[in-house]
Chain A
């Protein structure tokens, strides 16, 4: 992090004027910091064995070296894959043909706004692929070549793809503004599928994918360790509330199975959100279980190919059937909900067991007809319903030391439309709620710049640049309304927004919605809490010792 410029300097370095050379002639910077580390050999090999035909070429390689060790027939593989996908996805075929380069998308991408790199304009990112489509698959492109913006597939083009399609977080903001709905996320997904065929991948995707397949969660934590961590959080909850909550794992015969991204289990501040879930379920005495086998809701397969996405997603139904649950309650996660809303039932609906039913809240009796096909309810829907029916005793004043804003996570916002439910919950559990400026929230929300498997350290400057739009909107409400917490409903957000806020809006912390629910939840009449889930003192209970600065540490 030391060689990353200060926020002001970085901001001043942004120039929206493109370079003098045309984009086909402008070379790509392959120096370290511009790319994520390639996938480890054993991880790629593992996935090759598990799903034949869609991963390939495991090897040691590095993007800053000239030789990327591609297979000799790499071009044939990529072009055949391209041709195949043009038939398998109307989206790809239509998006390749109908862009008019009107530029409405150009300044919508967070990576462009923060970098000024023209290849981060969604239109040009797509042209990197479209130029090959025209040059290799259309007659006009073959004859007129450069005049039609066409080029043939070369190793340099593939290398350019690697840099820029791993510099897209598939957030779909550009798609919202496109007059034809061209979705760069879809184009990025196709480009990544093609690159996986010849072994161009990144480890921050390959390792979670293989871990999720093997152990159930992205960090590869084995079931006993998973249980240890959950028990640890149960102890922490007891420390804060004096109550020992239940945390059932792998138990058969419950009505509901709860699945959340494993980021909530392992990473700070996600763990506080997880504690909020546990407290809520215990309060309700909910008939539920969690699973170590299906312990990852987030679907890293989405960032590789539809085959891996399907394989990882299928665990949810498989485990629901094995444990005999009727429906699935899903935690706060971005990509997980894109996969659930747009892909799950189509991919794996046939795996649903006959015991599964349209979700019905056992507490309020509400039937969630809007999830009749997937049998899966978002936790903010579930909790909003509880609040509406007055089933929760809440003390929002416990969050009075917080002024909260809400970051719409891209996928629930733009691939689902889950906008009001989390706001309803937040407004019920905290008294100080503020919206960030228009143009940066709801369907127009800005990405955390670490989605789609890019939340890795080695591209931190790229992430911070991409984080400018979100960070700057946050800074605005921090200055104007004293916002000190940004709540979100995505585990990747909870990981990536922390360095983003530290850089662009220092002093703002990141929380999940259910962390704040956990804070406000009153277990018993007259219950008094002295600290929040982070074990920091609530207002009025500050320990003076906390303000003590150790000797010689004043400058630190």
Chain B
């Protein structure tokens, strides 16, 4: 049901520019106003959200440790520096592995129950599908976004040419098929299928889980449609996009409606981004179980709101139990306490 709602939303979103540009001819609105506003909301929203998180206190260091600690004798017990870091540099590497290689997801396992010789067996096996498709999707998305820079930069930097060359290295079709175009669609289809197929994941999936998948899929498909099938006028599009970044707004003729659909879907994504779970992109950097070294036994750290709480005083303890302590031969600070209260 949640998946259907999400799909329906995305169809509605496609209809808006189709109608708006195709029938109502609001090209300036959809070509300039919408993307500019969306970009502003995206940037401001992203920064606002990061600041909101950064303003929260980190009273305690609570890294989840995934390996051997820094021992008192480092030659006897080899520290697992990347999963149980104790310095800033090691923590930095841990974060690199987390952000660029999805390290924690890489260790994912799957549990299953069996009867072997009539005895119950709980089995665990490595399960890297989610890791694989997540990484394919994220890297594809990243490279696709990077490739788009050629529309916003003049002259086009050399690395973008290199990137495009590598991305299209298989030389399939004309225009050349990009690997990342396949990757992003394959990744998204897997992520959507997994949500529908696995009953546990289906149970926890909300509209807000399906919606971004379908939205990004529609962005990707509209882009692919423009490049491989509609074969839109890229020169004209670059005129428009360069106008956007240089604030010389200009709508050239001859840009198909498909382009406006694509831009509108991207704009929706940008507006949606800072207020949704997509902010995991920024949040992963601020996760206290990952971005802090395990060094609280080694170095002192301050809690900014450390409350003033004292332990139950020993003097009170001795006053209360003094007679019994004296009788048991336990030493007393105050001999008076040996007498019972009466």
Does chain A bind chain B?
yes
Q: Contacts A312-B311, A341-B296, A417-B84 hold; do A103 and B201 have CB atoms under 8 A apart?
A: yes
Q: Contacts A99-B277, A346-B303 hold; do A179 and B105 have CB atoms under 8 A apart?
A: yes
Is A322 part of the contact surface with B, judged by Cβ < 8 Å?
yes
Q: Contacts A11-B120, A312-B311, A346-B306 hold; do A181 and B287 have CB atoms under 8 A apart?
A: yes
Is A147 part of the contact surface with B, judged by Cβ < 8 Å?
yes
Which of B86, B121, B286, B325 is within 8 Å of A472, CB to CB? Answer: B121
Complex Cα–Cα for A384 and B71 (A): 11
Most chain A beta-carbon contacts within 10 A, residue among B58, B207, B288: B288
Complex Cα–Cα for A18 and B77 (A): 44
Chain-B contact segment, one of A60-68, A216-224, A235-243: A216-224
Within 8 A of A (CB), among B177-225: 198-201, 203-209
Which of B53, B65, B209, B299 is within 8 Å of A100, CB to CB? Answer: B209
A346–B296 CB distance below 8 A: yes
A318: nearest residue on chain B (CB-CB)?
B311
Interface string of A386-426 (1 = CB under 8 A from B): 00100000000000000000000000011111111100100
Task: State the Cβ distance, B331 to closest chain A Cβ, in Å.
Answer: 5
Residues of B within 8 A of A476 (CB): 121
Within 8 A of B (CB), among A102-128: 102-104, 106-108, 113, 118, 121, 123-124, 127
Is B148 part of the contact surface with A, judged by Cβ < 8 Å?
no
B297–A376 CB distance below 8 A: yes
B64–A175 CB distance below 8 A: yes
Q: Contacts A182-B287, A345-B300, A417-B84 hold; do A250 and B124 have CB atoms under 8 A apart?
A: no
A443–B56 CB distance below 8 A: no
B311: nearest residue on chain A (CB-CB)?
A314
Q: Contacts A179-B284, A368-B72, A414-B64 hold; do A86 and B56 have CB atoms under 8 A apart?
A: yes
Is B80 part of the contact surface with A, judged by Cβ < 8 Å?
yes
B297–A311 CB distance below 8 A: no
B317: nearest residue on chain A (CB-CB)?
A293
Which of B110, B134, B206 is within 8 Å of A101, CB to CB? Answer: B206
Is A543 part of the contact surface with B, judged by Cβ < 8 Å?
no
Total interface residues on B, using CB and 8 Å?
103
Is B302 part of the contact surface with A, judged by Cβ < 8 Å?
yes
Residues of A within 8 A of B23 (CB): none
Within 8 A of B (CB), among A312-362: 312, 314-315, 318-319, 322, 340-347, 349
Most chain B beta-carbon contacts within 10 A, residue among A118, A222, A439: A439
A102–B310 CB distance below 8 A: no
B326: nearest residue on chain A (CB-CB)?
A224
B73–A148 CB distance below 8 A: no
Residues of A within 8 A of B2 (CB): 147
Which of B76, B289, B314, B327 is within 8 Å of A91, CB to CB? Answer: B289
B296–A342 CB distance below 8 A: yes
Task: State the Cβ distance, A15 to closest chain B Cβ, in Å.
Answer: 10
Complex Cα–Cα for A350 and B146 (A): 51
A140: nearest residue on chain B (CB-CB)?
B275
Q: Contacts A224-B328, A314-B310, A318-B311 hold; do A371 and B104 have CB atoms under 8 A apart?
A: no
Is B283 part of the contact surface with A, judged by Cβ < 8 Å?
yes
Which of A124, A177, A349, A419 is within 8 Å of B68, CB to CB? Answer: A419
Q: Contacts A16-B200, A98-B279, A345-B300 hold; do A149 and B208 have CB atoms under 8 A apart?
A: yes
Most chain A beta-carbon contacts within 10 A, residue among B86, B102, B119, B313: B119
Complex Cα–Cα for A343 and B300 (A): 10
Is B39 part of the contact surface with A, judged by Cβ < 8 Å?
no
A181–B290 CB distance below 8 A: yes
Residues of B within 8 A of A373 (CB): 296-300
Complex Cα–Cα for A127 and B55 (A): 24
B106: nearest residue on chain A (CB-CB)?
A179
Is A542 part of the contact surface with B, judged by Cβ < 8 Å?
no
Within 8 A of A (CB), among B271-315: 275-277, 279-280, 283-284, 286-290, 294, 296-303, 305-307, 309-314
- A positions within 8 Å CB-CB of B: 7-8, 11, 14, 16-18, 22-23, 50-51, 86-95, 97-104, 106-108, 113, 118, 121, 123-124, 127, 138-140, 144, 147-149, 172, 175-183, 186, 213-216, 222-224, 227-228, 249-252, 292-293, 306-307, 310-312, 314-315, 318-319, 322, 340-347, 349, 366-374, 376-377, 381, 384-385, 388, 413-421, 424, 437-440, 442-444, 468-469, 472-473, 475-476, 479
Beyond A98-B277, A138-B275, A228-B328, 13 additional contacts (C-beta under 8 Å) are A99-B277, A140-B276, A147-B2, A149-B206, A216-B317, A222-B321, A347-B306, A369-B298, A385-B72, A415-B64, A417-B69, A442-B67, A443-B83
